[in-house]
Every structure is written in structure tokens, then in C-alpha cells.
Amino acid sequence: MKILIYGVGGVGGFIGSHLQKTGFDISYIARGTRFEFLKKNGLKLKSQLGDKSIKKIKIFNTIPNKVDFDIIISTVKLYDFDGFIGEIKKKGLHETILLPFQNGVYSEQKISQEFGEEKTFGAVAQISSFINENQYIIHKGKLASFFVGNMSDIVNKKLLKFCEISKNSGLDIQYKSNIKEKIWEKFIFLSAYSGITTLTKKSIGEIFASTALKDNFVSAMIETYNLSKFFNVKFKVNPVDYWLEKIKKMPFDMTSSMYLDYLNNKQLELKWLSGFIVDCSKKFDNKCETHQSILNGIVTK
């Protein structure tokens, strides 16, 4: 099975390091400094679940021609996603399984618009990981769970096989028939987490140590949860309660990738997170005062 990991940051690098023992033919796409480091040094992972060092990997700075990949794992930032889709179309890879591990809900919507719902797959990464100044992948805490599945009712046997082999090689990945629920479940947390850590410049532990900040965080999650109902998303358990229990086990100093991007003066995914919630809430008359304050506060900084 030929696998391409497009974007070798915290998420793509972690996944790739755990797929190396699968026997899959794995290639990577990176650019700039990241490409040069990976070409010379390979993957370097620091994790409580086990450090990894893979010296030689197949690395490119653009999708190679005349290669039919079975699965392409996309981990680029949301603001680069349209460019990724453009390259997929240019290379004629319409039949490839695309697994978009982006934040929010935009990437699945974009794939559906371009290729149709039957060819649309959802992907969710529950992990806190990033690239440090030495180009090492740093995994915070022990949470590292991944979920994939078809957005339609069709079950894809190739993707099922991919999950089975990957899981046997140590990657916690599950095929879900209710992937839409998992996508929104993460979005409910992530939209609050990214926005409030960036707005307040505080870690998850610091936020939940303050009654006022905790209340804002919960309000932001509730706003996104309420919005999900307009997209016909049904949850088996209350997602806000689910996340409040999860947060208790998170490292005190854990913070969002968006806040790290903010500190490093990089482009933010704000438009696709709180911005998306505010825009959609206006259409559906859904109250979103907290996300509006996040959007206003970060934009004006």
C-alpha cells in the first residue's frame, strides 16, 4: 500500500513515525527548512509513549508524478488546504483516499464539493504535538488517538485494512462509522481551546484554574455544540461533559498550536475556527457571544 503524508509537522510526523513498521511504502511532503532537515536527518520524535528516530525517509517537496497513492494523509494548516486540493487535482489523484487531519470542519466540506460525498473521508487527530526549534516532533502528554471514516454510508475496505495494519504497528487509529460526530466532537473542544489559549495567553491548566476563564471556555464549547445541531450532528453523549472530563487529565501546561503560531508571528487558523462559528451562527440565529469576543480580541491584537 502506497501512503503519502502531506505535511510533516506535529501530527504528520507523529503518524509517520508510527507507520514506518507497517510495511507500507511511505512518502512525505515537506518544504523549506523542514524539507532540508528531514532529508538530512529523518524523523525525530520525543514522546512519553516512546521516542523514535527514523534516519532515512522518502521525502519530496511536491507530489511525485506518475505515482498512484492508495492513501494521502493531509496535515497542512487550514490556510494551505485549498492549495493542497489544487495539487491533488493537478496530479489527477481523484481516486485516492484523502484523509484530512485538519482542525475544524472545512476540509471535509471542501473535498465533498470538489470530488463528491462518496469520495469524502473524515479524519480526526486527538493529540497535542508540535515541531520545536530543533525540528524535533514534541508530543505533549499521552493522548494520541486518531479516527477515520467515510462521510457517506459506504464502508471502504482499503481504509479498514489500513487501520487494522496501522493499529497492529502501534498507532491508535480507529475506523468510525460515525466520523461526522467525531469531527464535531473535536471541533467543540478545539474551537474553544485554540481561541481562549491564544486570547488569554494561558495554558489549559491556567484557564481551568480561573473560574471566569473556565466559564468562558465552557460557554465557547456550548456555542459550538449548539451550532452542530443545525448540521444534523447527533451525539451519543453530551460532548461538553465528555471534554470536561478529558480536560481534567490534560497536562497543566498544554497549549494550542494556534497559540504557538501566534507567538511565532505565523498565520492563524482563526478564520476557520471561531470565524466559521460566528459566520454560521449568523445564518442560523445561533448565539455565539464568546466566539465573537475571541474573534474580536485576537484580530485586534
Could you tell me the CA-to-CA distances from 33 to 38, 205, 212 in Å, in that order?
A: 9, 32, 41
Q: How many Å apart are CA 68 and CA 58, to the nearest integer? A: 15
Q: How many Å apart are CA 36 and CA 75, to the nearest integer? A: 18
Q: Are 155 and 170 contacting, i.e. CB atoms less than 8 angstroms apart?
A: no
Q: Which residues contact 217 (CB under 8 A, 6 or more apart)?
A: 192, 193, 196, 207, 208
Looking at the DSSP assignment, which residues form a beta bridge with residue 124? 147
Q: Which residues contact 203 (CB under 8 A, 6 or more apart)?
A: 197, 252, 253, 254, 255
Q: Which residues contact 196 (CB under 8 A, 6 or more apart)?
A: 202, 207, 213, 216, 217, 220, 294
Give the pLDDT score at 206. 98
Q: Which residues contact 19 (CB under 8 A, 6 or more apart)?
A: 3, 5, 26, 166, 169, 171
CB atoms within 10 A of CB 90: 10
Give the pLDDT score at 31. 96
Residue pLDDT, tens place only, 196-253:
999 999 999 999 999 999 999 999 999 999 999 999 999 999 999 999 999 999 989 9
Average pLDDT over residues 43-49: 97
Q: Are 96 and 88 contacting, i.e. CB atoms less than 8 angstroms apart?
A: yes
Give the pLDDT score at 152. 87
Share of the chain above pLDDT 90, in %: 92
Domains of the chain, first to last: 2-177 (3.40.50.720), 182-299 (1.10.1040.10)
Taking all residues of the chain, what is their mean pLDDT, rounded to a whole number?
Answer: 95
